[in-house]
Every structure is written in C-alpha cells, then in structure tokens.
C-alpha cells in the first residue's frame, strides 16, 4: 500500500473539518431545510456515483498520486443531481448531497479510507461554493419566481434570468474542485503550483457547465407539477453521453497501450538506447508546439517521435549491440529499419501521420538520405520534425561509442547541418523551445560506459566527433563510418511507382 504523506493527510483532514463547519448550520433546529429533497438527491447521486460508466476503463498513465484521483475530462454522469441540490437547497444542505455517494463509491487504489474522505470533502466543498454563488447571483429568486407560477415560465423576466446564475455556479463548482485537487497534489507529491494546476481547470469547466444547465432543468422539473419523476428524465441522456465518453476514453487508452508495447519491445531489444524513443517523442512535441500545432496534430507528432525506431525490431540484435565497426553489409541491413517500421505500423489506422515519420525520418533535405533519397518538400513534415528531434537526442545522450554532448553544442551542430540535412524551420523551433523550457539531463546509466576502443583509440573506427544524423546506435555508427554519406542501397532512388505515397502507404 502506498503511504500517504503527513502533509497530504493534514490537508485531507482539514478539508473534512471545513466541510463540517460549512454543513453545521443545516443541522441546527432553526434551519429550514427540505430534508426529503436533500435525501432523494443524495440517494440519486450515490446510485450514479457507485458504478460510473468509466469504471472499467484502463489507466492512461502511471499510477495516480497517493490521494488525488487522476484528472478526468468530465465529472460523474450524475453530476446534474449534485448541481440540482446546489440550486434547490441552502448551501449547508447542498454540501451534504455528495457525501453519501463519495463515501460509498468504489475505490480502485488504497488507502481506501483516505481516498473516500478526500473525495467527499472535495465534492462537498465544491457543491457548497456552487450553492453560495448561485444565491449571490440572484439565481434563487429567479428560480423561485419561475416555480411559483408555472404560467410565467416562458416570460423573459424569470427563467432566462436563472440561466446565467446556474452557469456561474457550475463554473464555481468546477473551479473549486480543480483548486482543491491541485492543492492535494502539492501536499502529496510536492509539486509546484503551476504543475499541480496545469490543465486541470480547462478540462473541467466545459463538462461542469453542461451539467449546470442539466442541473437547472432538473431543479425546474423537480418543483414543477410533475415532480421528481419528471426530473429523472434529465439523467438518461447524461448517462448515454458519459457512456460514449467512456468508450472513447477506453479506445484512447488502447491506442496508448499499443504504442507503449511497441516502444517497450524496442527498448528490450536495444537496451543501450533505452529511453531514447520517449525523449524523441518529447522533443518532437516541443518542436510541433513551437510551430503552432496543437490537439490531435501535436499528439500525432509525439507518437511519431516515440515510434520512429520501431523498425529496429526487424534488425538482428547482434548488429544493434555490436561494439566494433560495421561492415558495408551490416550497414545496409541496419538502414532497412525505416522500411521495417513502416511495414509494422501501416496497418494501425490511428497512427496516420506517424507512419510517414517512421519511414522517412532518415531522409535529408539535399536528397542524400535513406531509404528513398527524398529531398526538400518531398519529405513529409512529420519526418522533418522527427529527424531533428532524433539527432538532438542522439547527440545529447551517452552511447556505447561516444559520450553525450552538451545541449548548446548539439544545437550548434544542428544549425550547422540545417539546410543540407535538416529543415531550418524545425531546428529554429527546437532551439526556441529549449530556450523556453530547457531539456532534462539524460540518465547516464542508460548506456554502458564508453569503451576506449570505441572512442577512437582503435584504428578503423569513427573519431570522437560525431556528425548529426541517424540517432540509433547502429545507424549512427554506420553514418560515422561512411562520413555521413548514404551507401549504395540507401542512396538509390526507386522509380516513382515504387515509392510509397505521402500518406505512408506501401
């Protein structure tokens, strides 16, 4: 069981005590709380939160922190019941609606008690904040006026005025939940505020806004002549939407698992460059982001960088791990790895643009690269991005045949080769991204110590200075031996009909 740090325990207990303070006024004899409504909404939320549609989804990332759940792109499908409570009940009672469901809900990781307590405290405080904001914005009066005379529900003086307070209250709920979750991450894992809250606010506001409007519809129907049964009709569409989202979430997880399995297979086979693929994916994403790409395109470039060397699975292991110089035949065998990789991934539909990068990431702008000798704009953009990221990580990583270069020296070498080997736009984008974000140090234990005879002290091998080119161990040495000039098969251009298309097809 993963231990919860003391700071995180104190944070959770403090949040729970704050909930007790906020909810205490509802338990006083003078409180005018419609307990029947509160109990029904709490039971409804508990029934939905007990087994959400996304329960069976596999994890997308490493294990979540000790207390906070992994960030999700939407709240529970029964979230409108929580917001309906914020609209229909006083703030102290609204805070209690989420508590039974949070305490009884399934917990996939230990410690279960701390996780349940934290989930209940976070949701209760968020619901309390939403109810307060709804009242301060005049939503209670607008809703009460609408419910007092159903005949006026269509007039512009009542129900439309409740829409804005409901939306603001839903945003307050999302912001409060995200802020509390970021705080527990800071306490549990020692993250900086920027790292703890980055991406959490935006991914929660839109779903909570939708749930706020659905919660307002539930509140109106709940107090209408048709009563609570009519309000329940709001939830089935929300369940269907949540189910569709869960299926998309699961499909995305399956895609990531496929990529992860391929990368792990490459790392197992070529253990001396372990971690290289992930770092190339990171550098490719940095370049793509600097070029203004985002969303699916950015993710495609990251996956392209991660999978660029998957073709090494088709190269004999003895060549990838060979310490001495390579023969011409061995070089030609290694230079087939882009085509091997393309054959492996071309049937995986979701990889799309990544297939082009796998096949063409060793092409050069001057046309002397391999496997097809493409030049200039004929080289797909994804391949030009990955080529720069690939060479950069090669130069800044220690390999069996040479030591790592400092980042400034690697960037200088990329700039020297820009125009002939690399796309200058990609080189400039990487340099700007490195200036802005830096680059983490490469663990030296990923490669064996550099052997003296590999460092140029034995005749017949490459000198200590390594030009920027193919980053994986075998091709890197192959390029060193031939002076960075493609050999026979690599430099021969196939006839136009034999070349694969820009989409990466066979």
pTM of the complete model beyond 0.75: no
Which residues partner with 402 through β-bridges?
399
User: pLDDT (tens digit, 9 = 90+) per residue, 113-153?
Assistant: 888 899 899 999 999 999 999 999 888 877 776 655 545 44
| 242, β-bridge pairs | none
Q: Are 15 and 180 in contact, with CB atoms under 8 Å apart?
A: yes
CA 251 vs CA 265, 398, 401: distances in Å:
21, 37, 41
For Cα atoms 473, 474, 480, give the angle at the middle one, nearest 5 degrees. Answer: 90
- Whether the pLDDT of residue 482 is over 50: the answer is no
3-state secondary structure of 448: coil
Q: What phi, psi does 293 have (nearest 5°)?
A: -80, 150
Q: In which residue are the tokens 């490493």 written? A: 62
Write out pLDDT tens, residues 283-300.
Answer: 999 999 888 887 778 888
pLDDT at 355 over 60: yes
> Whose CA is closest to 170, among 178, 181, 159?
178
451: number of Cβ within 10 Å: 13
Neighbours of 436 (CB within 10 A): 10
Q: How high is the pLDDT of residue 70?
A: 37
Q: Hey, is 267 helix, strand or coil?
A: helix
Residue 252 has pLDDT above 50, yes or no: yes
Give 457's pLDDT tier (boundaries 50, 70, 90): very low
Q: Which residues contact 437 (CB under 8 A, 6 or more apart)?
A: 286
Peptide bond into 434 cis (omega under 30): no
**Interior/surface letters 351-361, b for 16+ CB within 10 angstroms, e for the rest:** bbbbbbbbbbb
Determine the distance from the C-alpha atom of residue 79 to the mean position of all C-alpha atoms in its chain, rounded to a whole number: 24
**Residue 362 reports pLDDT greater than 90:** yes
Gyration radius (Cα) of the chain, Å: 29
Q: Which residues of 126-143 are buried (b: 16+ CB within 10 A; e: fewer)?
A: bbbbbbbbbbebebbebb
Which two structure tokens, joined as six digits, stand for 207?
A: 């779903």
Mean local confidence (pLDDT), 28-39: 87
Please tell me the number of Cα atoms within 13 Å of 462 on its side-chain side: 24
pLDDT grade for 184, boundaries at 50, 70 and 90: confident
290-298: long-range contacts, CB 8 A cutoff, minimum separation 24: 290/429, 290/430, 290/432, 290/433, 291/385, 291/425, 291/426, 291/429, 297/353
Sequence-ordered list of residues with C-beta below 8 angstroms from that of 230, at least 6 positions apart, any chain: 221, 222, 224
**pLDDT greater at residue 64 or residue 95:** 95
Q: Tokens for 180?
A: 């509390």
CB atoms < 10 A from the CB of 460, how many? 9
The residues, any chain, with a CB within 8 Å of residue 164's CB and separated by 6 or more, are: 137
Residue pLDDT, tens place only, 387-428: 999 999 988 887 666 788 899 999 999 999 999 999 999 999
The DSSP 8-state label assigned to residue 365 in this structure reads T
Quote helix, strand, coil % in the chain, to nearest 5.
Answer: 65, 0, 35
The pLDDT, as a whole number, for residue 148 is 53
pLDDT tens sequence across 2-27: 567 888 889 999 999 999 999 999 88
Judged against a pLDDT cut of 60, whether residue 60 lies above it is answered with no
Q: Would you state the pLDDT for residue 125?
A: 94
CA distances from 374 to 2, 164, 345, 495 (A): 52, 57, 21, 12
Greatest mean pLDDT range, 117-126, 441-450, 495-504: 117-126
Q: Residue 59: count other Cβ atoms within 10 Å of its Cβ.
A: 13
Average pLDDT, the chain: 76
């Amino acid at each position: 069981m993963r231990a919860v740090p003391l700071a995180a325990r104190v944070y959770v207990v403090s949040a729970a005590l704050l909930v007790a303070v906020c909810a205490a006024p509802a338990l006083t004899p003078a409180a005018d709380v419609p307990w029947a409504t509160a109990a029904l909404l709490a039971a409804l939320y508990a029934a939905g939160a007990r087994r959400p549609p996304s329960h069976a989804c596999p994890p997308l990332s490493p294990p979540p922190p000790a207390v906070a759940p992994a960030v999700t792109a939407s709240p529970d499908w029964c979230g409108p019941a929580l917001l309906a409570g914020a609209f229909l009940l006083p703030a102290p009672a609204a805070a209690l609606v989420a508590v039974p469901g949070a305490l009884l809900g399934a917990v996939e990781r230990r410690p279960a008690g701390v996780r349940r307590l934290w989930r209940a405290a976070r949701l209760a405080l968020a619901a309390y904040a939403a109810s307060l904001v709804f009242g301060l914005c005049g939503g209670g009066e607008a809703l009460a006026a609408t419910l007092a005379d159903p005949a006026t529900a269509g007039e512009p003086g009542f129900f439309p005025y409740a829409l804005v307070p409901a939306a603001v209250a839903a945003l307050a709920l999302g912001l409060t939940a995200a802020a509390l979750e970021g705080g527990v991450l800071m306490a549990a894992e020692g993250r900086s505020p920027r790292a703890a809250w980055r991406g959490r606010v935006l991914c929660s506001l839109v779903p909570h806004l939708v749930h706020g409007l659905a919660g307002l519809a539930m509140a109106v129907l709940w107090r209408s002549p048709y009563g609570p049964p009519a309000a329940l009709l709001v939830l089935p569409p929300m369940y269907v939407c949540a189910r569709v989202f869960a299926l998309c979430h699961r499909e995305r997880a399956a895609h990531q698992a496929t990529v992860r399995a391929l990368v792990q297979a490459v790392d197992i086979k070529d253990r001396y460059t372990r971690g290289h693929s992930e770092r190339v994916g990171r550098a490719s994403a940095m370049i793509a982001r600097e070029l203004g790409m985002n969303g699916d395109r950015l993710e495609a470039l990251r996956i392209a960088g991660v999978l660029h060397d998957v073709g090494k699975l088709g190269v004999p292991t003895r060549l990838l791990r060979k310490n001495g110089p390579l023969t011409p035949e061995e070089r030609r065998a290694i230079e087939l790895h882009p085509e091997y990789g393309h054959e492996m991934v071309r049937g995986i539909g979701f990889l799309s643009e990544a297939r082009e990068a796998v096949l063409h990431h060793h092409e050069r702008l001057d046309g002397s690269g391999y496997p097809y000798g493409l030049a200039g704009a004929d080289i797909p953009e994804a391949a030009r991005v990955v080529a720069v990221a690939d060479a950069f990580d090669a130069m800044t990583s220690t390999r069996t045949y040479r030591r790592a270069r400092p980042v400034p020296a690697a960037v200088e070498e990329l700039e020297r080769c820009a125009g002939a080997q690399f796309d200058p736009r990609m080189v400039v984008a990487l340099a700007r991204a490195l200036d802005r974000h830096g680059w983490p140090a490469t663990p030296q234990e990923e490669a064996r110590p550099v052997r003296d005879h590999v460092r140029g002290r034995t005749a017949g091998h490459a000198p200590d200075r390594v030009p920027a080119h193919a980053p994986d161990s075998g091709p890197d040495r192959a390029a060193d031996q031939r002076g960075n000039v493609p050999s026979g098969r690599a430099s021969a251009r196939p006839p136009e009909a034999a070349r694969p298309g820009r989409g990466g097809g066979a």
